[in-house]
């Protein structure tokens, strides 16, 4: 079978039979013609992806210690609500990052005073997730 392969601006014609390749011809690839500008009607018809859900601003933090995201990702699950008592080491949230689920634990015994990042929120490393106050 014969193939044309473009590599580093050159076109190679190669014939492959029984696992062996033989170079038939080599030449420079022609520069591609510039793409025509898109018509305004086409640009208007393009679908617009919805913006990701963002974490709430820091102004909504409750009293106590803020627990920040250790890595960027998406909040998959919020396991605690405002006013709920949690123990140190208890899972409060799960964040998905690079196809891995990462549990976010309570750093101490206390009561959740605010949940800043809701399910589906895109968070960056250092963004506040929730606050916890000691009893």
Residue with tokens 């250092």: 126
Q: Which helix (H) or strand (E) holds 27?
A: strand 20-28
Domains in the chain (CATH in brackets) are 1-30 (no CATH), 55-133 (2.40.50.100)
Q: Which residues contact 59 (CB under 8 A, 6 or more apart)?
A: none
Tell me the pLDDT tens digit for each residue of 92-119.
Answer: 999 999 999 999 999 999 999 999 999 9
Tell me the pLDDT tens digit for each residue of 1-32.
Answer: 787 878 777 887 878 888 777 777 777 766 55
Give the other-Cβ count within 10 Å of 67's Cβ: 21
pTM over 0.85: no
Please state, in angstroms and rounded to a whole number, the distance separating the CA atoms of residues 25 and 32: 20
pLDDT at residue number 103: 96
């Amino acid at each position: 079978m014969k193939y044309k392969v473009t590599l580093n601006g050159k076109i190679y014609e190669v014939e492959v039979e029984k696992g062996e390749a033989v170079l038939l011809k080599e030449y420079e690839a022609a520069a591609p013609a510039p793409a025509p500008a898109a018509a305004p009607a086409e640009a208007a018809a393009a679908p617009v992806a919805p913006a990701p859900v963002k974490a709430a601003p820091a102004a909504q933090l409750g009293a106590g210690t803020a627990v920040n995201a250790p890595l960027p990702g998406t909040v998959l699950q919020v396991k605690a609500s405002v006013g709920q008592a949690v123990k140190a080491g208890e899972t409060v949230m799960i964040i998905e990052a690079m196809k891995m689920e990462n549990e976010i634990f309570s750093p101490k015994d206390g009561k959740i005073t605010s949940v800043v990042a809701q399910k589906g929120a895109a968070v960056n490393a250092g963004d506040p997730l929730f606050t916890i106050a000691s009893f």
